[in-house]
């Protein structure tokens, strides 16, 4: 006789545990939505077209062939910081060669002081300091994308954070009754494979831009896995009737 490890179905768990699980899922789900808004806001439009595309990700990670970092920021995440007319003046200055005398005489210096320095005054080490001509000329050079140190910093935060999230959501979802069993296992493992593929591709996109597709697809897979586990868990926790084979087995799921 073989002894198999079993977990009990949500409906066979005490009410308190289901309340705890639901609270956790609701707050993590809200966090996931905010994360998606953030990703959209920080990358969409870098290529000059609205919406989030593979080209936006290529520009974010490997840089833009045609635009400087300043221009892609003004088209993308910084677009709401100033009226379009002033953004055009900055871009025109970059296109004219981004010279120092021109910076002062064209009024671009005044725009940057008025619109950008509240945040880009050097006090936050994670965003470029734009307070002098030397500083701004660094972002007005050819764009090579996110630097390796930033990628390393964001990588370790993501590897830890995402593992926690999917370990928690997975250990709740484990109480669901999903057939065939391989589907349950694939759902559980997908986010872990996807995060490795995602983060690896941030670096690989620098050498071979089509890897931006892997970034896009692995992000989507993580989202699908999260949504599936969230919906299946919530539904089976509160609305589901256990099928007869599960009741006979005293609510044990595998
Ligand atoms: C409300 C605060 C705020 C203001 C105002 C602001 N920025 Fe930023 N900026 C940020 C933050 C935060 C980041 C880093 C996060 C990101 O990339 O979205 C950033 C990033 C950047 C980057 C780097 C983008 C990259 O891809 O690495 C550039 C260039 C930039 N800003 C230019 C500007 C310019 C030019 C202005 C003025 C027109 C401006 N910012 C106004 C907060 C601000």
Query: What would the pLDDT profile of 127-159 be if each residue is shown by its tens digit?
Result: 999 999 999 998 998 888 888 898 999 999 999
Q: Give the Å distance between the CA of 78 and the centre of ligand 1.
A: 5
Query: Is the CB of residue 173 less than 8 Å from the CB of residue 200?
Result: no
Mean pLDDT of 62-73: 86
Mean pLDDT of 185-190: 98
Candidate from 68, 81, 139 with most ligand 1 atoms within 8 A of CB, to mutate: 81
Q: What is the pLDDT of residue 143?
A: 82
Query: What would the pLDDT profile of 16-30 be if each residue is shown by its tens digit?
Result: 999 999 999 999 999
Residue 243, pLDDT > 80, answer yes
Q: What are the extents of the domains in the chain?
A: 7-42+146-253, 66-139
Cβ of 20 less than 6 Å from ligand 1: no
pLDDT > 90 in the chain, percent: 74
Query: What would the pLDDT profile of 71-105 be if each residue is shown by its tens digit?
Result: 989 989 999 999 999 999 999 999 888 899 999 99
Position 111 confidence tier, pLDDT thresholds 50, 70, 90: very high
pLDDT > 70 in the chain, percent: 98
Q: Give the Å distance between the CA of 128 and the centre of ligand 1.
A: 7
Residue 1, pLDDT > 80, answer no
Candidate from 73, 110, 124, 146 with most ligand 1 atoms within 8 A of CB, to mutate: 73
- Backbone phi and psi for residue 117, each to the nearest 5 degrees, phi listed first: -70, -20
Candidate from 47, 61, 78 with most ligand 1 atoms within 8 A of CB, to mutate: 78
Is residue 207 packed enough to be buried (19+ CB in 10 Å), middle (13-18) or exposed (0-12)?
exposed
Position 250 confidence tier, pLDDT thresholds 50, 70, 90: confident
Position 199 confidence tier, pLDDT thresholds 50, 70, 90: very high
Closest CA to 77 of 41, 112, 106, 35: 41
Residue 4, pLDDT > 70, answer no
Side-chain half-sphere exposure of 63, counting CA atoms within 13 A: 15
Residue 220, pLDDT > 80, answer yes
Q: Give the Å distance between the CA of 127 and the centre of ligand 1.
A: 7
Cβ of 59 less than 6 Å from ligand 1: no
Distance CA 177, CA 249 (A): 12
Distance CA 118, CA 109 (A): 14
**Mean pLDDT, rounded, of the chain:** 92
Query: Is the CB of residue 227 less than 8 Å from the CB of residue 36?
Result: no
Q: Give the Å distance between the CA of 93 and the centre of ligand 1.
A: 18
Q: What is the pLDDT of residue 20?
A: 98
């Amino acid at each position: 006789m073989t002894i198999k490890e079993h977990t009990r179905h949500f409906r066979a768990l005490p009410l308190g545990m289901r309340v705890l699980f639901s609270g956790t899922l609701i707050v993590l789900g809200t966090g996931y939505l905010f994360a998606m808004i953030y990703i959209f806001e920080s990358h969409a439009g870098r290529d000059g077209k609205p919406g989030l595309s593979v080209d936006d990700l290529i520009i974010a990670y490997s840089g833009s062939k045609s635009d400087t970092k300043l221009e892609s920021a003004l088209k993308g995440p910084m677009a709401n910081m100033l009226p379009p007319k002033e953004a055009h003046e900055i871009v025109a200055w970059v296109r004219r060669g981004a010279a120092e005398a021109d910076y002062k005489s064209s009024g671009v210096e005044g725009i940057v002081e008025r619109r950008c320095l509240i945040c880009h005054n050097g006090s936050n080490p994670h965003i470029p300091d734009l307070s002098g001509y030397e500083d701004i000329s660094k972002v007005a050079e050819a764009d090579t994308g996110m630097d390796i140190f930033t990628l390393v910093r964001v990588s370790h935060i993501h590897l830890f954070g995402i593992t926690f999230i999917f370990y928690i959501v997975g250990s709740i979802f484990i109480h669901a009754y999903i057939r065939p069993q391989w589907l349950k296992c694939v759902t559980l493992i997908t986010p872990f494979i996807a995060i490795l593929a995602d983060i690896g591709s941030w670096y690989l996109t620098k050498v071979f831009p089509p890897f931006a597709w892997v970034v896009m697809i692995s992000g989507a897979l993580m989202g699908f896995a999260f949504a599936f586990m969230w919906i299946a868990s919530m539904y089976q926790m509160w609305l589901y009737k256990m099928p007869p084979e599960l009741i006979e087995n005293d609510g044990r799921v595998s």
